[in-house]
Amino acid sequence: FGMREYAAMWLVAWVVPTVIAAWLRAPSAALPLVTLPVGLRLVRAVSVLEGRDLNPVLAATAKTLFVYGLLFALGLLALPRNV
Give dist(CA 21, CA 19) in Å, integer.
5
- 39: closest CA among 77, 68, 19, 75? 68
pTM of the model: 0.90
The pLDDT value given to residue 35: 97
The pLDDT value given to residue 32: 97
Give dist(CA 70, CA 67) in Å, integer.
5
**H-type alpha helices, the chain:** 2-24, 36-48, 55-77
pLDDT tens column, 28-57:
999 999 999 999 999 999 999 999 999 999
The pLDDT value given to residue 24: 93
- For the chain, the straight-line distance linking the first and the last C-alpha, in angstroms and rounded, comes to 39
